[in-house]
Each structure stands twice: as structure tokens, then as C-alpha cells.
Chains A and B, each alone.
Chain A
Amino acid sequence: MEHLIAEMKPLSPVLIVFTGALAALLAGVFSKKENSYALPYIGITTVAFAFVALLNYWGRGMIWLLQGAIRIDSFGLYISAIILIACLITFLASIGYAKRLGFEHGEYISLLLFASGGMMLLAMSADLVTLFLSLEIMSISIYALAGMARHRQKCNEAALKYFILGAFSTAFLLFGIALIYGATASTKIHAIAQVQGLKPLLVAGLGMLIVGFGFKVGAAPFHVWVPDAYEGAPATVTGFMAVAVKAAGFAALLRVILIAFPGTWAEYWWPVFWAVALLTMFLGNIIAVFQKNVKRMLAYSGIAHTGYILIGLVSLGIAGSEPYIPGMKALMNPIAGGMLFYLLAYTFMTLGAFAVISLAARDEDDLETLDDFSGLSQRKPVVALAMAVFLISMAGVPPFGGFIAKFYVFKGAIDVQGMLLASGVKEYHALALAILGIITSMFSVYYYLRVVWFMYFREPLEDRPSVAPSWGLHFVIFASSVAIVVLGILPSGFFSVASRGAEALVR
């Protein structure tokens, strides 16, 4: 028993988060209704402690735990840090918002913490059993969170659609895991890589696994739940869903794909991701143009961002399938680092944008239609400025973090292409993807700037009473926009941290 406790020690960030979740649950039950304003602070404290525990393990190399169920490495820690930041921002933005929508209770805080803990474990799992269970802890908490404002019909609908498609995709993922277990007699991700030879069972398992993860990260054609779930869920939860679920989903996807199916396997999976990335970018960006609801537009733009991050995975696949080309291996770490940097930049701009949306336009609705945004610069100049920063950053316009993130991802694809051409391989898949990515990102400038235009060049509508934002919301909006500017102006330090995070996957 003591041995077990000693072994669990490196898992302390996750354990702190789960403990905080239980504490919030109990505090919610035993505290009086008028004291419920204090509940988010339990969450904030928990996240702060967990973050300190996390930093404690950064740079200590790999730690294997519990007979290979968990591998604590720089990649898992980096993703966990993103998740904790997302969780903290969500707590701060919920101050006031949760009360207005009637879900200021312990369960809300508790479920957010449970979901975060599950996501952190997901990013650290080295065994498919742990991976599946942590994925489920995350998903079940998020299903409930999406339906948190129970009296809103849209919210019920969002939870329902998210649940049905989520559970459906989980079954696919699970069948994929079963086939992989059948083909390799192991559930350890690192042991699966040892199995040589192409077996139909393993290929089918990989295919079903890709379907399952595709749903979780919201890649086309598995994106159908994203718009409805994002539009219907409460704005703070939507921001958390958009950022943390995507980061955790990508973490699991990258770990499974890059470690269990490396090298020559990449020839089989990168064409799939190539098609998925292309479809995701085009669908997301084109449908977003026609949206009148800003929340729904951001959902489609979130799909498009998934496509951009997938470009990195495709480049990694192409690079990995040509290991004999000198210099190709050296390219892989910066590409993966670029993906991780993208996730960090995406965290701040998306959470910031959803924090602005959570400012109520009317009593219970979010600030979500284009009309709600018209003349926002006159009513709330600071908020409008911050929103403009988030949107312009998402569009990929310098000097903000979103531009640098896109730059790294596209540069990775072009570098791989250059290396291929230099060694005489005349295939243009990487270049084509980068060019199409840049073209689709031009479409996106239109719909992002349309919101900015509404905020600055339209007269405010009369019937839009404004609610004073809480200090937490002010802080979130301010901090996120500062972070976006810093990521845009001084990216190199953050990029080297991201590359160190990627070292655990590709050196």
C-alpha cells in the first residue's frame, strides 16, 4: 500500500484536481445558497495547486507509473498545462455568469474539475485501458456540463446531440481498441508499435480509432455535433469544450498515432488525415461565412482550426514515412512543436472570445447574434477592442499569436515539401495542403472581420441592455488579449517550450 502511494506521487497534479472536485461537490451540498458565490474560488485554488505540482515535474524526463499505465513526460505535462489554463479561465469567466444562468452550484465546479482531471490523464496515458477510461471521465462530465442550464431548451438540445454522437463515437473508438488488442495481445501503446507487419485487423482497428478521435476533435466529416453543441451550451462551457476537449483529444490522437503506428505505418494514415484536414478546413471556413450567430460561427471556425492543426499531423506522417531522406527526422520536432504552439494560441483566443460572448445581451441569452455586437465599441470600448484582438488573431493576421501559430504549421508543411523535392521525390501533397490552407484562411478573414465591422461601424441597437461584467470576466478578457499579443510578438520562448513538449513524441 505504501509502495502504491509512493508510486502515485508523480500523479499528484491529477490527484489534486480530483480532490478539488470532491471538495467542491461537498462544499456545494453543505453550504448555504447565499454562500455559493465562493464555490468558483475552490476551483481556482485547486487549479493553482495543481499547476504548481505540474511545474514541479517539468524537465525531469519520463516517469513510468503503475506498470506502464501512465507515462509522465513533457508532452503530457504541456497539454495538462493548457488544460489547467483553460479550466482556470473558465472558472474566472463563470463568476457572475453561472449565477445569471442559474447553475452556480458545487456540481458545476466539480464537473469542470473532473473533466480537467480526465483530460490530463488522457494526455498522459500510455495504455489504452487508461486512455479509454480518462476519455470517458472527460466525456461524461462534459455531456452533463453542456446541459447545465437545464431550463433553456437550446441547452437541453446541445447536451442531447453531444451525448448521442459522443457515445456513438466512443463505441467506434472502443471497437477499434478491441481490434488492436486482438491483433497485438496488448493494450500498451508502446508495445503495439513492436508488432511487425500489416494485418487487416490492425488496419481496421486504426481506422475505427481515427473515426472515434475524429469525432472528439471535431474533424470533418465527423463534425456534425460541433455547431449545435457549441451554440446551445452555456458560453463558458462552450469555451472549455472548444479548447480543452480539443487539446486533450489531439493529445491522445498524437500519442496513439505517433507512438503506436510510427515509421512505415505513416504511409497508411497520412493520406486519410490529408483528406480529413482538407475537408475540415474547407467545410469549416465556408459554412462559417453564412452564419448570423457569432457563437455558431465560432463553432465552425473551431472546426477549421482543427483542420489547420491536422496539417501538422499530415506533415509529420509524410516526414515519418520517408525516414531515409537525410534531415527529414530533424524536421519532425519543430512540426510537432508548431502544433502544440497552435493549441496554446488557440486556447487564449477562443476562451477570450467565448468570455466576451458570455457577457449577456439580454437577461439569459448570450451575446451571440451579429445584431448584439453592433456598436459594441460605443457601449463597451475595452471589451470590443479585446474581441477585435481575438478575432483578428483567429483570422491569422499579424502581429497576434494566431498568425505565428498558422505560420509554424504552414512552414512545417512547406519544409517537408522542400526536403522531398531536394531528394528527388516529385509528390506535392504537403505543398498542396499548405497552399489550400492559406487560401481557406483567406476566406476566414471575411467572417472574422465582419464581426469587427459590426462592432465598430454600426450604431448600437436600443433594446440591448448591458450587464456589468464581473471582475473575473474583466480579468480573463484582459489577460487573454495580453497573452495573444505576447505570443505574437515574442513567440520564440513559447515555441521552444512547445518543442520541448513535443520531444516526448518525436525527437
Chain B
Amino acid sequence: MFTVDNCLVLSAVLFAIGVFGVIARRNLLVILMSIEVMLNAVNLAFMSFARQHAFEGGNAGQIFVLIVMAVAAAEAAVGLAILLAFFRNRQTADADEANLMKN
């Protein structure tokens, strides 16, 4: 059971759940969390591949996991700052309320 492809299947399923969250939800906080879920799934995929390629190609996979963590934290910081600025002006955290601009 604990094989490379099953780890990847788990990561693919988590990624798809994150995609669902971004598309289907209106609460901005939950959308941001869904993006974190997607990044987490990517990390799992990188880690499985890194473990599989443990004897070839250096440890690029592990470094990538580390970098994705940093990027996820930075993205969360900027994303939440943008959310706060939006909330201050509009008093809502609903993505569908962001509708001032139309064709």
C-alpha cells in the first residue's frame, strides 16, 4: 500500500479538493485556505518524488519542499493583507461582493 503511486494519488486527491474549494466557495478566508491545501498537496508530491529519487539527482525535491513552505507563508501574508484591505473598505469577506467592475 505504502508505494510511490499511492502517495501521488493522495496528493492528487488533496490538490483536487483544494481546487474545488477555490472554485466553489465564496468566503475569502476559506478560499485562501484552499490554496494552502493545494500547496500542501504539491509538497506531498515533491516529498514522494524526492524519496523515490533518493539516490539520484541530488536532493532537489527536498529543497523544493522547503522553498514551497516559505512561498506558502509569504503568499499567506500578502493574501491576508489584501483581504484585510478589502474588508476595511467593504465590510465583507465574500468573494462575490467584489463586483464593482463589469464589462
Chains A, B in direct contact (C-beta < 8 Å): yes
Do A167 and B35 touch across chains, with their CB atoms under 8 A apart? Answer: yes
Digitize B63-103: 1 where CB-to-A-CB distance is under 8 Å, 0 elsewhere.
11001100100110011011101100110000100101101
Do A178 and B45 touch across chains, with their CB atoms under 8 A apart? Answer: yes
Chain B residues with CB under 8 A of A291: 103
| Total contacting residues, chain B, CB less than 8 A | 44
Do A154 and B101 touch across chains, with their CB atoms under 8 A apart? Answer: yes
Known: A136-B71, A143-B82, A160-B28. A181 touches B101 (CB 8 A): no
Chain A residues with CB under 8 A of B83: 160
Do A179 and B78 touch across chains, with their CB atoms under 8 A apart? Answer: no
Contact of A133 among B31, B45, B67, B95 (CB under 8 A): B67
Do A175 and B41 touch across chains, with their CB atoms under 8 A apart? Answer: yes
Q: Does A35 contact B (CB under 8 A)?
A: no
Which interface residue of B18, B49, B56 has the most chain A CB atoms within 10 A?
A: B49
Closest residue to B38 on the A side, CB-wise? Answer: A171
> How far is B87's CA from A376's CA once the two chains are assembled, in angstroms?
37
Do B22 and A164 touch across chains, with their CB atoms under 8 A apart? Answer: yes
Q: Does A323 contact B (CB under 8 A)?
A: no
Do A140 and B74 touch across chains, with their CB atoms under 8 A apart? Answer: yes
Do A186 and B57 touch across chains, with their CB atoms under 8 A apart? Answer: yes
> How far is B96's CA from A335's CA once the two chains are assembled, in angstroms?
43
Do A159 and B85 touch across chains, with their CB atoms under 8 A apart? Answer: yes
Chain B residues with CB under 8 A of A175: 15, 38, 41-42, 45
Closest residue to B97 on the A side, CB-wise? Answer: A157
Closest residue to A154 on the B side, CB-wise? Answer: B100
Interface residues in B2-21 by Cβ distance below 8 A to A read 8, 15, 18-19
Q: Does A275 contact B (CB under 8 A)?
A: no
Minimum Cβ distance to chain A for residue B93 (Å) = 10
> How far is B31's CA from A287's CA once the two chains are assembled, in angstroms?
28
Contact of B60 among A159, A171, A179, A186 (CB under 8 A): A186
Do B46 and A167 touch across chains, with their CB atoms under 8 A apart? Answer: no
Digitize A134-157: 1 where CB-to-B-CB distance is under 8 Å, 0 elsewhere.
001000100110010011011011
Known: A181-B60, A182-B49. A227 touches B101 (CB 8 A): yes
Minimum Cβ distance to chain A for residue B63 (Å) = 6
> How far is B81's CA from A150's CA once the two chains are assembled, in angstroms?
11
Do B46 and A143 touch across chains, with their CB atoms under 8 A apart? Answer: no
Q: Does A334 contact B (CB under 8 A)?
A: no
Contact of B71 among A133, A147, A159, A228 (CB under 8 A): A133
| Total contacting residues, chain A, CB less than 8 A | 42
Which interface residue of A140, A156, A177, A187 has the most chain B CB atoms within 10 A?
A: A156
Minimum Cβ distance to chain A for residue B61 (Å) = 6
Which interface residue of B31, B82, B95, B103 has the most chain A CB atoms within 10 A?
A: B82
Minimum Cβ distance to chain A for residue B94 (Å) = 11
Q: Does A104 contact B (CB under 8 A)?
A: no
Q: Does A185 contact B (CB under 8 A)?
A: yes
Contact of A156 among B18, B32, B74, B89 (CB under 8 A): B89
Do B79 and A187 touch across chains, with their CB atoms under 8 A apart? Answer: no
Which interface residue of B22, B78, B83 has the most chain A CB atoms within 10 A?
A: B78
Q: Does A161 contact B (CB under 8 A)?
A: yes
> How far is B38's CA from A165's CA once the two chains are assembled, in angstroms?
13
Do A159 and B39 touch across chains, with their CB atoms under 8 A apart? Answer: no
> How far is B19's CA from A381's CA once the two chains are assembled, in angstroms?
51
Chain B residues with CB under 8 A of A171: 15, 18, 35, 38-39, 42
Q: Does A163 contact B (CB under 8 A)?
A: yes
Q: Does A37 contact B (CB under 8 A)?
A: no
Do B100 and A144 touch across chains, with their CB atoms under 8 A apart? Answer: no
Known: A140-B78, A156-B89. A296 touches B46 (CB 8 A): no
Contact of B74 among A136, A174, A179, A187 (CB under 8 A): A136
Known: A160-B86, A185-B57. A167 touches B79 (CB 8 A): yes
Minimum Cβ distance to chain A for residue B89 (Å) = 5
Q: Does A445 contact B (CB under 8 A)?
A: no
Chain A residues with CB under 8 A of B57: 185-186
Minimum Cβ distance to chain B for residue A439 (Å) = 22
Closest residue to A133 on the B side, CB-wise? Answer: B67
Minimum Cβ distance to chain B for residue A140 (Å) = 5
Closest residue to B86 on the A side, CB-wise? Answer: A156
Do A232 and B67 touch across chains, with their CB atoms under 8 A apart? Answer: no
Minimum Cβ distance to chain A for residue B21 (Å) = 10
The chain B residues found within 8 Å of chain A, CB to CB, are 8, 15, 18-19, 22, 28, 31-32, 35, 38-39, 41-42, 45-46, 48-49, 52-53, 56-57, 60-61, 63-64, 67-68, 71, 74-75, 78-79, 81-83, 85-86, 89-90, 95, 98, 100-101, 103
Task: Enumerate 18 A-B pairs (CB-CB under 8 Å) in ascending A order.
Answer: A129-B67, A132-B67, A154-B100, A156-B86, A157-B86, A163-B78, A164-B28, A167-B75, A171-B39, A171-B42, A175-B41, A178-B49, A182-B53, A185-B53, A187-B64, A227-B101, A287-B103, A290-B103
The chain A residues found within 8 Å of chain B, CB to CB, are 129, 132-133, 136, 140, 143-144, 147, 150-151, 153-154, 156-161, 163-164, 167-168, 170-171, 174-175, 177-179, 181-182, 185-187, 227-228, 231-232, 287, 290-291, 296
Known: A129-B60, A153-B89, A186-B57. 15 other contacts (CB 8 A): A133-B71, A144-B78, A144-B81, A147-B82, A150-B89, A153-B90, A157-B86, A159-B85, A161-B98, A163-B79, A164-B31, A175-B41, A181-B61, A182-B49, A182-B52
